[in-house]
Amino acid sequence: MHLQPEDDDKTKHASNGASDRDAHEINDFYGHNRQEVTRIIIQSLSDLGYQSTANQLSQESGFELEVPNVAAFRTAVQSGNWVEAEALLFGSSDREGLPLCEGAKRDDMVFLMRQQKYLELLELRDLSKALMVLRQELTPLHHDVSRLHALSSLIMCRGADDLRQQARWDGANGSSRKDLLSELSSRLHRRLSLSAALFY
């Protein structure tokens, strides 16, 4: 008399198991999170200039590209607007700062941005402004002293080519801002970061 309910239970468990697997498959794309992969595709389409296609995919998938503050931060770094980038990172009375992943420090991120700012000023041979950034913006962060000494020695470079060679840095028009953005993005909270590492 108890065999039928037992079979029903097996069927129910089997059904639940199938549902769990289906849900996992929907959220999984070759071992990666489907939402993050979709957002990266949307970002790539936007970067390539296919904005209408990016918007269509965003609407169809239901996934937004980036929260406004992250998009603004990304633009600020790529355009070398360091004041705006720092303001977005820390936030203000009417705007939240960017949440970071566990263990990340805002001062470390600020150091990386100010270091880029310093190197770009040296590349332009604007030595007075570069020296001001070194003394008033980088040094007070009390970062790695040996790194500060290395940066200060770059003042003596004979020109932009010598600077790029000595600093092992490819300049404002190279990939340095992109590399900086990648480093900064890796320190943002996972739900905000669009890591290209998913494709490798």
129-153 confidence digits (pLDDT tens): 999 999 999 999 988 899 999 999 9
- Pair (127, 174) in one structural domain: yes
pTM > 0.85: yes or no:
no
DSSP bridge pairs for 29: 32
Q: Is residue 163 part of a domain?
A: yes
User: Which of residues 200 and 186 earns the better pLDDT score?
Assistant: 186
The model's confidence at residue 123, banded by pLDDT at 50, 70 and 90, is very high
- Pair (167, 131) in one structural domain: yes
Q: Is residue 109 part of a domain?
A: yes
- Pair (77, 162) in one structural domain: yes
Q: Inform me whether the pLDDT recorded for 196 exceeds 50.
A: no
Q: Inform me whether the pLDDT recorded for 36 exceeds 90.
A: no
Please tell me the predicted confidence (pLDDT) of residue 55: 85
- Pair (39, 111) in one structural domain: no
DSSP H stretches of helix in the chain: 3-27, 34-47, 51-61, 68-79, 82-90, 106-123, 127-133, 145-153, 160-167, 176-185
- The count of domains in the chain is 2
Q: Is residue 7 part of a domain?
A: no
Q: Inform me whether the pLDDT recorded for 67 exceeds 80.
A: no
- Each residue's pLDDT tens digit, 12-33: 454 454 444 444 445 677 887 7
Domain assignment of residue 125, given as a range: 68-199
